[in-house]
Amino acid sequence: MPYLFTSESVSEGHPDKVADQISDALIDNFLAYDITSKVACETLVTTGQVVLAGEVKSDAYLDVQDIARDVIRRIGYTKSEYMFEANSCGIFSAIHEQSPDINQGVERKSPEEQGAGDQGMMFGYATKETENYMPLALDLAHKLLIELAALRRENKDIKYLRPDAKSQVTIEYSDDNQPIRIDTIVISTQHDDFDKEAAMLEKIKKDMIEILIPRVKKDLKPELQQLFTDKITYHINPTGKFVIGGPHGDTGLTGRKIIVDTYGGKGAHGGGAFSGKDPSKVDRSAAYATRHIAKNLVAAGVADEVLVQVSYAIGVAKPCGVFVDTYGTGKVGLKDGEIARKVEEIFDLRPYAIEQRLKLRNPMYGETAAYGHMGRESKVVTKVFNAGKKNEKKVDVELFTWEKLDYVDKVKKAFGL
């Protein structure tokens, strides 16, 4: 019997994502000036206020206020009527030195024996459902908001948009797990004030359906465009007026959108957030490593859908265990446990090896903090830190290295494909 599956996304102006982006901007700046930095930084944003807290071990000195204001400005909170504005918000820092008790479990005389920064389990997932091996509902939810942000910055076809927004996509699937159609699309977008609420709602709904949706559709493959039928149920700003938003409408905290950040409810999640953590924290680095493994397994033809779990004990380099679930889609004549053992042979999952393989000691994290950490394009960019200042620094950074299909040949050889 056909079934429905739903995923959501939130925009870069959502308060939780504002917090994530500030935390990851701090990570990038610390790594740009000291690649050995150990950082765990949390951010809270609310009406006219930013609070930074966390633990740091680094030789770098940062002007955290400037960094936070730059992020808020880039997102688009630049007007006083938003009640949260880059130049005027208060910023309080309670960042202090990392506990030596934790650090002694991570650093070793031999770098290869670097211990895990925490205990826990991390998951990676991949599916053949889309070109980027991501679940379709989440991929579309992200695309809607990326395009909505582009429309806001263009300020041409739609001129009333403000930074905060959420999307949600529900897809109907057949018994054999193939997408049949899009059942429901939900978009809630912050906007400027209107004189008449009824006219406002009508215009916003019309613009979302007639401007936003066609812009998203035109970049999709034909088989995905066909999912956009005239039977879609649209809920556009279903509560009505959405003028008050962002950190003034809701307090934002780092790490509260972990499902948006990963697979939209598909696969599994170990519970650990990513943003604000340097790569010695396996919550982040091992989640990227398992995505890298899952994606390469699917791309190599081992299975159509793969979930990979790895687990650690704090201060210990060797993982406690590796688990693989192919959901019955395996194509290599092996049980999932046998696939897991081969994965351990192909991929070194010690924390130091993950950092080296995926080049995680580079300032690559700001770009991950909105619109998902997975399914993004791996590319090299030049990032500038403290532009125009005495300590300006330019760094060439390869982004989203865990999205590369650089192990496909090794996987194929190991599995005889």
Which residue's entry shows tokens 């582009």? Answer: 150
The answer to whether the CB of 55 falls within 8 A of the CB of 95 is yes
Separation of alpha carbons 98 and 163, rounded Å: 34
98 is in an annotated binding site: yes
42 is in an annotated binding site: yes
273 is in an annotated binding site: yes
The closest alpha carbon to 374, from 353, 351, 398, 404, belongs to 404
14 is in an annotated binding site: yes
Q: Which two tokens stand for residue 357?
A: 């393989």
281 is in an annotated binding site: yes
300 is in an annotated binding site: no
Around Cβ 235, how many Cβ atoms within 10 Å? Answer: 13
The answer to whether the CB of 92 falls within 8 A of the CB of 52 is yes
Around Cβ 40, how many Cβ atoms within 10 Å? Answer: 24
277 is in an annotated binding site: yes
149 is in an annotated binding site: no
SS3 category, 172: strand
Residues with Cβ within 8 Å of residue 366, at least 6 apart in sequence:
21, 24, 25, 27, 28, 71, 383
38 is in an annotated binding site: no
Separation of alpha carbons 142 and 161, rounded Å: 17
Residues with Cβ within 8 Å of residue 228, at least 6 apart in sequence:
182, 213, 217
231 is in an annotated binding site: no
The answer to whether the CB of 46 falls within 8 A of the CB of 281 is no
317 is in an annotated binding site: no
394 is in an annotated binding site: no
State the binding site: 14, 16, 42, 55, 98, 164-166, 241-242, 250, 256-257, 273, 277, 281
State the binding site for L-methionine: 55, 98, 250, 281
State the binding site for Mg(2+): 16
State the binding site for ATP: 14, 164-166, 241-242, 250, 256-257, 273, 277
State the binding site for K(+): 42
